[in-house]
Chain A
Amino acid sequence: MTIRTPTPRGPVRSAPARSAPDALVVPPGEITTGHARGAPLRREGPAKLTGVAKYADDLVFPGAWYGGTVRSTEAHARLDAIELDPGFDWSGVVVVSAADIPGDNVVSLISDDQPVLVPVGGEIRHHAEPVALLAAPDRGMLREARQRLTLRTTPLPAVFDPLQSGEVFAHFDIRRGDVEAALAGAELVVEGIYRVGHQEQLYIENQAMIAVPVDDGGVAVHGSLQCPYYIHTALKRALLLDDRRARVVQTETGGGFGGKEEYPSMIALHAALLALKCKRPVRMIYERHEDIAATTKRHPAIVTYRSGVDREGHLIAQDIEVVMDGGAYTTLTPVVLSRGTLHAGGPYACENVRIRSRAVATNTPPNGAFRGFGAPQVEFAAEMQVNRIAEVLKVSPLELRRRWVYQRGDVTPTGQVLRESVAGEEVLLRATEASEYERVRERTAGARARRGADGSGREGGDRTASGIGLALGWHGAGFTGSGEVHLASIASVELTADGRIAVLTASTEMGQGTKTIFPQLVADELGMAVGDVAIAPQDTAIVPDSGPTVASRTAMVVGGLLIKAARRLRAAVEARNDGRPFADVRVADAAIHGSTRVDQAFEPYPHVHFDDDTYRGDAYPAFGWAACVATVDVDLDTAEVTVRDVVAADDVGRVIHPVLAEGQVEGGTLQAIGYATIEEIKLRDGRYLNDRLATYIIPTSLDAPRITSLLVEAPFSGAPHGAKGVGELPMDVGAPAVVAAIHDATGAWIHELPASPERILARLGITRPIDAEPRLLAVDDAFREPIDAGTDPRPDAETDPQVMRGPRDADERR
């Protein structure tokens, strides 16, 4: 068969350089020679660096109209009518409502609860819910039309507090051992309640989709997206199209981080409905305000945690309750909750564990995928617990983690035996050695002692306090449980009729390096130069469904499929050419046999079994491991936090491309630091208040620390190359490391993210104002005068409900 791949316009050559002696001549968008520390250069790098890479909004479709979305302005209401102003000339505009949807009015990954557009008579469930669509030949007319359209609604009572919600999207209950008995017999019990809020992915390219009607009644959408086949499925269902008449093409994508996993299906449907109705291309390019206001965020969570420790300092019990706020519709929430549940214990061996979790509905925009996918929320809580226990036991946080961290042969709460690729201790040691953690900690403790618990020793020069903090994390590699089996992904390698190699997958490039590492893996297997391997465009008309580009699965799972496909291709071609090397015979072979394509389907990893009903067994084929050491300066007057240095050690199984892998660690680490310190969504009545880039802030180059990334390799035997993925790992550990460092500097434990100056000051101010007479909070005080949190898991930010009991002798003093 023949496939469509970019046609190389001749090899790339070095040329006399204008300014750099070894500058490249790079035909835009083509393969580049040269190398980045021994690995290939980013495949699409030159196109991005010269401005010729085409993102969705850069594409020109002659005659295209501009599409817009009319959204609810209420959090919960019945839609009574959509009224068009009779004084406006509607003939030059196209209006789409739910009545125009030929198929099911649903955009769904798990449950069929979210409509493409709310129908008249239907229920509006959040503030940014799409109700109608408009298209016009220019932006001015689109704006005008939007003002002439009115929604008539009847308000309904709304729920904004997840703890008041009675509508449960999903719940899990994982038990191992007898947690109540273990807690009753524990020497020390530490309880904590931790809250984290929304986080916006804030890819710098806004969501964008352009739909083009096709003569056969079908539609092609070109857009910024992570998962072509998710959109393909959504289009087929709502528009009643067959496989062929629905076509999805990924354009260059300016970041995703999970934010372009599911919402693009909604936008694609909107653009397609308009395009089919006005019979011309329609551009749906979100502005930043609409993007933040309407698209999915990281789930807020409340994690209640009780840990029990025995007389010898062993972790003997973990009793954990997780509540996540799913927002108005199911979206991916059950899977996010599942991952959060499975990671809630942290990377620590414990005989008695109970993890109960639920995700509930509120009348807020739906939450969804964001790098880490439920794990950062719970691992923040898990690490806070370890740090607070270390403080009570007067043991170094490093030492306590060394004692507790999973070793090979240990068993997780689902009963999974960690048989291989267990590198928690290694990343811990690598990160703490490189950062000289213990030595710095001694120094910061000395400075804190000199300032005195009440701050009386603070000298004129003490403007800031330095602190160092440590966190350890784990992240299940690939899809949860039997997810990969259900996905049944296919990836292909083809020797084309003209003797070239093409890689065919639906895995998207959004900056992480898919288009660079795939040719690299295939070229290695075939004994060819990486530049001789082309990558087919992510177009559902061309490439097979190799699953979504999510869950750090691209390098591990799809990369593994490509290696197997390349091995089979090589074996087949060499077998019919007297065993001569593939690279030598491929052109001649193709001339005789035409193209040869190998489709490799996913094969279950051996010895990996998970029961989706009981949640027992191997939750993940393997885990990646991450440690983070953060050094901060806290302004003693304003409580502003500067994260100065981060050392991150991440076990990725196998490093395919060091520069790209480090880039993942560095980028993920900074997103975690933003989560820890400045990123926060404020809500009023279910609406985001800071839904602009002027008000939702992310770290700049001046907020970013110097990041040192150490890559550790504990290969996973189930993947032919041993890779376990890297994208999400650093996101799990950055926030708890920063919060531990803030504590090391100030003595304040911040239980709620972000650890803003306001929170730090309030936390310090309750017990002792930091300004005049700083009296730094010590955990010892908390357990001399325990505060009864009762059963209310909703503390105010200003109160400290953290209950502690024991050790036994201390207990008797109460």
Chain B
Amino acid sequence: MTTWRFVVNDAPVEVEAPGMRRLLDVLREDLALTGTKEGCGEGECGACTVLLDGAPVDSCLVPICQVDGARVATVEGLAEPSHEGAVLDSLQQAFLEAGGAQCGICTPGMLMAARAYLNDGGAADEAAIREAIAGNLCRCTGYTKIVEAIAIAAGGSR
């Protein structure tokens, strides 16, 4: 067991874990951040996507030893907490209104991939958006309304 120190959603954390423990398990089981989902455990579906120092990664493929000293962002950090509940950010709001979430299991990973795209200055360009979320599988929506939601959040309207 080793102690790993890193930052999750702007809060510093300390975790005791074997170095090869998956970041996904650390988040879900050690830190009780179950918003990040597991769909395949082999980096195919993207449901476990989080941002590692700003870059989208499949947290099922990242051992915790690679996270030491890094900044991790998960779906739980998107909305702004308030005493009345959570204030959705513009991307979540766009997903809600456009119908970008159906069963919701791919949604956290999809949001994080989209967040990375927007943080990098991604535009409301359909082809670029499709490329940005190509590592995140969704079986419900046909992607149409997800792409639309990200375009809305990027400042475009479709």
Q: Is the CB of B82 within 8 A of A288?
A: no
The answer on a CB contact under 8 Å between B104 and A53 is yes
Contact of B87 among A18, A288, A700 (CB under 8 A): A18
Contact at A700–B134, with CB atoms within 8 Å?
yes
Which positions 56-110 of chain B face chain A at CB distance < 8 Å? 74-76, 78-80, 82, 84-90, 92-93, 95-99, 101-108
Is B30 on the interface with A (CB-CB < 8 A)? no
Determine whether the beta carbon of B34 is less than 8 Å from that of A58: yes
A702-B130 contact given A48-B104, A663-B141, A667-B102, CB 8 Å threshold: yes
Bound-complex Cα distance A397 to B36 (A): 48
Any B CB within 8 A of the CB of A572: no
A704 interface contact, C-beta 8 A: yes
Q: Are B95 and A288 in contact (CB under 8 A)?
A: no
| Complex-state Cα separation, A52 to B86, whole angstroms | 11
Pick from B47, B93, B111: contact of A24, CB under 8 Å = B93
Does A204 belong to the interface (CB within 8 Å)?
yes
In the complex, whether A19 has a CB less than 8 A from a CB of chain B is: yes
Q: In the complex, what residue of chain A is closest to B110 when comparing beta carbons?
A: A701
Chain A residues, Cβ within 8 Å of B33: 51
Question: Smallest Cβ distance from B114 to chain A, in angstroms?
Answer: 11
B105 touches A204 (CB 8 A): yes
Asked whether, in the complex, the Cβ of A51 is within 8 Å of the Cβ of B87, the reply is no
Q: Shortest beta-carbon distance, B106 to chain A, in Å?
A: 5
Partner of A19, one of B89, B101, B102, B139: B89
* Closest B residue to A646 using CB positions: B142
State whether B146 touches A701 (Cβ < 8 A): yes
**B85 CB to closest chain A CB, in angstroms?**
4
A671 touches B139 (CB 8 A): yes
Given contacts A204-B45, A511-B140, A666-B142, contact A23 B74 (CB under 8 A): no
Tell me whether B147 is interfacial, beta carbon within 8 Å: yes
What residue of chain B has the Cβ atom nearest to residue A24's Cβ?
A: B88
Closest residue on chain B to residue A663 by CB atoms: B99
Is the pair A36, B97 in contact by a Cβ cutoff of 8 Å? Answer: yes
Residues of A264-299 contacting chain B, CB below 8 A = 287-288
Contact A254 B86 (CB under 8 A): no
Q: How far is the CA of A41 from the CA of B87 in the complex (A)?
A: 15
Q: In the assembled complex, which residues on chain B have CB atoms less than 8 Å from the CB atom of A694?
A: 40, 42, 44
A50-B40 in contact given A15-B82, A25-B85, A663-B140 (Cβ < 8 Å):
no
- Contact: B99 with A23, CB < 8 Å? no
Interface of A is mostly: loop
- Chain A residues with Cβ below 8 Å from B147 are 701
- What CA separation (Å) do A660 and B101 show in the bound complex? 10
User: B121 to nearest A CB, angstroms?
Assistant: 15
Q: Is B122's CB within 8 Å of the partner chain A?
A: no
Q: Are the C-beta atoms of A701 and B87 separated by less than 8 Å?
A: no
Known interface pairs A36-B99, A46-B96, A49-B101; A206-B142 also in contact (CB < 8 Å) = no
Is A683 interfacial (CB-CB < 8 Å)?
no
Contact A34 to B96, CB < 8 A, known contacts A18-B80, A254-B105: yes
- Indicate which residue in A50, A257, A667 contacts B92 across the interface (CB closer than 8 Å): A50
A135 proximal to B (CB < 8 A): no
A666 nearest in chain B by CB position: B142
B-chain residues with CB within 8 Å of residue A28 when the two chains form the complex: 85-86
How distant is A148 from chain B, measured CB to nearest CB, in Å?
24
Closest-by-CB residue of A relative to B147 is: A701
* Assembly CA distance A218 to B71 (angstroms): 46
Q: Are B98 and A288 in contact (CB under 8 A)?
A: no
CA distance A251 to B136 in the complex (A): 23
Count of A-B contacts with CB under 8 A? 222
- Alpha-carbon separation in the docked complex, A54 to B35 (Å): 8
Interface string of B118-158 (1 = CB under 8 A from A): 00000000100111011111111111111100000000000
**Does A49 contact B107, Cβ atoms closer than 8 Å?**
yes
User: How far apart are the CA atoms of A692 and B85 in the complex, in Å?
Assistant: 39
- List the A residue with the shortest CB-CB distance to B39: A204
CA distance A205 to B97 in the complex (A): 23
CB pair B142–A36 under 8 Å, yes or no, is: no
Minimum CB distance partner of A660 in chain B: B99
Contact of A701 among B32, B76, B89, B130 (CB under 8 A): B130
B110 to chain A, nearest CB (A): 9
- For A32, list chain B residues within 8 Å (CB): 96
In Å, the complex CA distance between A49 and B37 comes to 12
- Give CA–CA (A253, B40) in the complex, Å: 16
**Cα distance A441–B106 in the bound complex, in angstroms:** 37
Of B40, B89, B146, the contact of A20 (CB 8 Å cutoff): B89
Contact between A55 and B85, CB atoms less than 8 A apart? no
Interface string of A674-710 (1 = CB under 8 A from B): 0000000000000000001110001011101011000
Contacts of B134 in A (CB 8 A): 700-702
A70 in the interface, Cβ–Cβ < 8 Å?
no
- Decide if B87 touches A511 in the complex (CB within 8 Å): no
Of B87, B140, B142, the most chain A CB neighbours within 10 A belong to B142
Interface string of A14-46 (1 = CB under 8 A from B): 010111101111111010101110000110111
Contacts of A26 in B (CB 8 A): 79, 85-88
- A572 to B38 Cα, complex, angstroms: 49
- Asked if A311 is at the interface (CB within 8 A of a chain B CB), the reply is no
Residues of chain B within 8 A of A545, CB atoms compared: none
Assess whether A50 is in contact with B103, with CB atoms less than 8 Å apart: no
A34 and B106 CA atoms in complex are apart in Å by 23
Residues 191-208 of A contacting B (Cβ, < 8 Å): 201-206
| Inter-chain contacts of B108 with A (CB < 8 A) | 51
- Contacting B86 at CB < 8 Å: which of A41, A45, A50, A667? A50
Q: Contact check: which of B42, B79, B84, B97 meets A50 at CB < 8 Å?
A: B79
Interface residue A331 (Cβ < 8 Å from any Cβ of B): no
| B54 contacts across to A, CB distance below 8 A | none
List 14 contacting pairs A-B, 8 Å CB cutoff, sorted by A.
A15-B82, A20-B88, A24-B96, A28-B86, A45-B95, A49-B111, A51-B76, A54-B34, A204-B39, A252-B104, A255-B102, A511-B140, A663-B141, A693-B137
The 10 residue pairs across chains A and B that have the minimum distance between CB atoms? A51-B35, A254-B105, A511-B103, A48-B104, A666-B142, A511-B102, A27-B85, A670-B142, A58-B34, A51-B75
New contact pairs (9) apart from A45-B95, A206-B39, CB-CB < 8 Å:
A13-B84, A15-B82, A48-B101, A49-B92, A51-B76, A204-B39, A670-B141, A701-B136, A702-B130
